[in-house]
Amino acid sequence: MAVSDNQKQRRLLMTTSSFSFPSQRDFPPFFTIQKHSETKIAQFRTWSKLICDYCQFHLKTKIQIDESIKNNELFCNRTINRSLSVESAREIFQYMVEQKQAQWETDDKNGVLILWHSIEQWAQLIGKYVDDASLKGKIETVFEYVTEQFPDAKKVSLQSNKSIMPYASELASMDRSLFERVLQYMESQGKASLFRSSNGEMSVKFI
């Protein structure tokens, strides 16, 4: 799998025990959307990278957008008594959606899926897991993958000091909404078949 320069930089951040915030976070204007178009775009780019880096470091793939973000360390700096407003966060997330760094979870835009891996890269990781776990041709529910298969793979990986399935912790971090979107992409590529039971539960067979 090709690794971009941005991803290499993110992985360097992950070598420390705690996340390293960029210096811009210590300046109050960083938390207010700038009016000048070029300055705003530069600000959005910095926020986008910060959000992707932070979420990858903490293995988060979904952010709920409500008043609680004002107390989330990603969106506030208590040292300078500044936080990002919900409205400003939505503006930044909309920019990330346009840059294919995020997807709205629902039409009401109250939740956002953070794509520190692209949908295509997630599909590659899932495909590798399916091969390593010999799951091709088997039908399993999405619920089973999210609550059993991926968490169990993570345990095996950690017990082996990540010599087995080193990507398992990332798979275990996937929000169900993101997993379903990756499966839909894989189905469009002829790599999976999706089924829905009478109760609405989705199942998948990898091809």
pLDDT digits (tens, 9 = 90+) for 77-128: 999 999 999 999 999 999 999 999 999 999 999 999 999 999 999 999 999 9
Residue ranges, CATH 1.10.10.570, the chain: 5-114
Contacts of 151-158 with C-beta under 8 Å, sequence gap 24+, read 153/129
Question: Residue 134: CA atoms inside 13 Å, Cβ hemisphere, count?
Answer: 0
CATH of 5-114, one of 3.10.440.10, 1.10.10.570, 3.90.550.10, 1.20.1250.20: 1.10.10.570
Which whole-number Å values give the CA distances from 192 to 138, 153, 179, 205, in the listed order?
11, 20, 13, 6
Q: Is the pLDDT of residue 55 over 50?
A: yes
Q: Determine the Cα–Cα distance for residues 184 and 192; give it in Å rounded to an integer.
A: 8
Mean pLDDT of 171-194: 97
Q: Say whether pLDDT at 1 is over 80.
A: no
- Where do the CATH 1.10.10.10 domains begin and end in the chain? 119-206
Stretch 27-51: mean pLDDT: 96
Q: What is the pLDDT of residue 200?
A: 84
Residue 58 has pLDDT above 80, yes or no: yes
3-state helix, strand, coil in the chain (%, to 5): 50, 15, 35
- Topology of 119-206 in CATH? Arc Repressor Mutant, subunit A (1.10.10)
Model confidence at 6, in pLDDT bands (50, 70, 90)? Answer: low
